[in-house]
Amino acid sequence: MKHTLSILLTLGSMTLSLGSLAQKTASQGIDEYRAMLQDGNPADLFEAKGEGLWTQKRGPKNASLEKCDLGKGPGVYKGVFVELPKYFADTGRVQDMESRLLTCMETLQGFNAAEIAKTPFGKGEQVNMTALATWLASESKGMKFNLSQAHAEEKKFYEVGKRLFFQRGGPHDFACASCHAEDGKRIRLQDLPNLTKNPGDGIGFAAWPAYRVSNGQMWGMQQRLNDCYRQQRFPYPGFASDATIALGVYLGVNSQGSASIAPAIKR
């Protein structure tokens, strides 16, 4: 409770200081705002919720997720995040964290995975999905990305992800690469990571899930990619669809060896 209050106060002071930005030079103000973002991360609240959801008996089968295999065997949650997406023999698919959670929620708890995938972000079981992904990411915080490329499907997904990354289309001819293929570029004042290579510790793929101060929302990687595609003027990428997972493989393999800071805090 005390924690929640301090986070709210921090957020409040951020809003206040944004209002006083005009008195300093604009870029000074922005630097201070960015520094303040590091003070407290409301992602803590989502982490706590996710941790609780892992052991809670839920769904039609009234079961917990404690036997969920996220890649290192049933129930292992430390260090799994930095090895995803990877190939899973039981589903015959390459899966990211959220896709794999969907599998566990269906097989262990009896939820309808297709229904959850169709649910908009921030609604119903998607709220729980984000909390779980946030907590699981926090259990690998500081660890280095180490995605497998041993399985043929994993290699295939990297190649497909690369093609998707460079695929121009839609009314604006945008690709992921339009914004993320060069060093040192910005959209307005927002710095853009170059995702065609390793962007470094805690940048790009290594920063999500993240709490977004601008809209007060906690976003997983699926939502991050979804909003990129929205701004790219592309159609809606299905939740946990192969396109989003292939992109995750491309970004994750490129980030190999970089430390994860997820859950991060963003503007």
Partner 1 sequence: MTKINSKLRTSLAVGAVALLAVGCASVPSTLDFKALTQQIVKASFRDEGIVKASILANIDESNQVCSEADANGKPLDEKTAQAIEAANLKTIKWPSNGKFLGDWKEGEKIAQNGRGLTFTDDDKTVNGGNCYNCHQMDPKEISYGTIGPSLYNYGKIRSVSNPDSPDVKLIVEYTWGKIWNSKAYNACSNMPRAGHNGILSEDQVRHLVALLLDPQSPVNK
Distance in Å, CB of 130 to partner 1, minimum: 19
Instruction: Tell me which residues in 2-31 interact with partner 1 (CB under 8 A).
Output: 26-27
Interaction of residue 198 with partner 1, rule CB under 8 A? no
Which tokens sit at 27?
A: 């870029």
Does residue 61 contact residue 105 with C-beta atoms inside 8 Å? no
Surface-to-core class of residue 123, CB atoms within 10 Å of its CB (0-12 exposed, 13-18 middle, 19+ buried):
exposed
Catalytic residue flag (residue 176)? no
Is position 162 an interface residue for partner 1 (rule: CB under 8 A)? yes
For residue 233, the minimal CB distance to partner 1 (Å) is: 5
Judged by CB under 8 A, does residue 177 bind partner 1? yes
Interhelix angle 43-55/124-138, nearest 10 degrees? 100
Cis? peptide before 263, omega within 30° of 0:
yes
Please say whether the beta carbons of 188 and 179 come within 8 A: no
Instruction: Give the nearer residue to partner 1 in terms of CB position, either 13 or 27.
Output: 27
Contact 198, 244 (CB under 8 A): no
Task: Examine residue 49 and tell whether it contacts partner 1 (CB under 8 A).
Answer: no
Q: How many residues bind partner 1 (CB under 8 A)?
A: 47
**Binding-site ranges for partner 1 (CB under 8 A):** 26-27, 152, 155-156, 159-160, 162-175, 177-179, 181-182, 184-190, 192, 230-231, 233-238, 241-244, 246
